[in-house]
Amino acid sequence: MDLLGDVTMDSLGAVTIDSLGSKTIDSLGSMITDSLGSVTNDSLGAVTMDSLGAVTIDSLGAVTMDSLGAVTIDSLGAVTIDSLGAVTIDSLGAVTIDSLGAVTMDSLGAFTIDSLGAVTIDSLGAVTMDSLGAVTIDSLGAVTMDSLGAVTIDSLGAVTIDSLGAVTIDSLGAVTIDSLGAVTIDSLGAVTIDSLGAVTMDSLGAVTIDSLGAVTMDSLGAVTIDSLGAVTIDSLGAVTMDSLGAVTIDSLGAVTIDSLGTVTIDSLGSMVTDSLGAVTMDSLGAVTIDSLGSMMTDSLGTVTIDSLGSMMIDSLGSVTIDSLGAVTMDSLGSMMIDSPGLVPVTIDSLGSIIIDSSGLSCGLGAVTIDSLGSIIIDSSGLS
């Protein structure tokens, strides 16, 4: 279907487009599908919507795109999918949504993109997924969200991004993932969140980032992970959090950062890890925490920082490690806790405190190590 003007499908009932071959709707104007029933686009071939104007799918029922080939929505205007039911895009090929305007997907039901190929959402405007149900993106290829505006995923259910390739969220605005359920990003490739605004993950369930590649969060604003469940970052590569604002990890469960590479947290603001469970940073490489503000780790459980490389905590503010359990800092390389001037360094534990390092260096401020249990400092050099 190739038209020079607008394409409009308006129905008081269901709208169904069913094809044994590929399906292409090409319009030089806007494309609108408005239905009081469900909207179904079912094809044994590729499904392509190409418009020089806006693409809008508005339904009081479910919206379903099911294809044995690729699914492509390409628009010089905004792309909007608004549904009172579930929104499902299921493809044996790649799923691509490319827009020079905003991309908005709003659903009162579950939102699901399932693809045997790559999933790409590319927008010169904001990218928004808002769902009263679960939000799931499942891909055997890479998952990429690239936006010149904000990227927002808001769900009353779980948010899951599962990819056999890399997962990349790149935004010139804020990146926000807000969920009343668990937030899970699982990738056989690298996981990268790059934002010129704040990066926020807020969940009433667990927050899990699991990657066979590097995990990188790079933000010109604050980086915040807030969870009523456990927070877990597990990577076979390096783990890097780089922020021009504060870095905050707040959890009612355990906080775990596990890396076969280096662990680096770099903040121009304060760095806070607050957990009702254990706090664990485990790295086969160096562990570096660098903050222009204060650095605080507060745990009702144990605090463990374990590194096969060097360990450095560098802060222009105070350094505080406060734990109701044991505090263990174990490094096969040198260990440096640097806090300038008269700014204090405090390690406070109701359990034992163990510091094991080939060399230990502390800053010029007061150093306080307070424990109701044993205190063990094993170092080839102490300064």
User: What is the spatial distance between Cα 60 and Cα 39, in angstroms, rounded to a whole number?
Assistant: 9
Determine, yes or no, domain membership for 365: no
Determine, yes or no, domain membership for 36: yes
CB 78 within 8 A of CB 53: no
Its pTM stands at: 0.88
Model confidence band, residue 276 (pLDDT cutoffs 50, 70, 90) = very high
**Over 50: is that where the pLDDT of 3 sits?**
no
Domain assignment of residue 26, given as a range:
1-197
Digit-coded pLDDT (tens) for 130-158: 889 999 999 999 999 998 999 999 989 99
Determine, yes or no, domain membership for 176: yes
* Helices and strands (H and E) in the chain: how many: 0, 48
Lowest average pLDDT, out of 214-228, 316-330, 353-367, goes to 353-367
Count Cβ atoms within 10 A of the Cβ of residue 369 and give its class: 0-12 exposed, 13-18 middle, 19 or more buried.
middle
Q: Return all residues near 267 (Cβ < 8 A) that are at least 6 apart.
A: 223, 241, 242, 243, 245, 246, 247, 290, 291, 292, 293
Write the DSSP assignment of 134-200 as a string of letters.
-EEEEESS-EEEEESS-EEEEESS-EEEEESS-EEEEESS-EEEEESS-EEEEESS-EEEEESS-EE
How far is it between the farthest Cα atoms of the chain? 80
Q: Single out the residue of 240, 278, 231, 279 nearest to residue 259, CA to CA.
A: 240
**Over 70: is that where the pLDDT of 7 sits?**
no
Tokens for 45, please give them: 């071939």
Q: Single out the residue of 97, 113, 96, 103 nearest to residue 82, CA to CA.
A: 103
Digit-coded pLDDT (tens) for 277-330: 999 999 999 898 988 888 999 999 999 999 888 888 888 888 889 989 999 888
Determine, yes or no, domain membership for 310: no
Determine, yes or no, domain membership for 289: no
**Over 50: is that where the pLDDT of 197 sits?**
yes
Percent of the chain clearing pLDDT 90 (strictly above): 39
CB 127 within 8 A of CB 101: no
Digit-coded pLDDT (tens) for 317-338: 888 899 899 998 888 888 888 7
Determine, yes or no, domain membership for 54: yes
Determine, yes or no, domain membership for 340: no
Determine, yes or no, domain membership for 236: no
Count of structural domains within the chain: 1
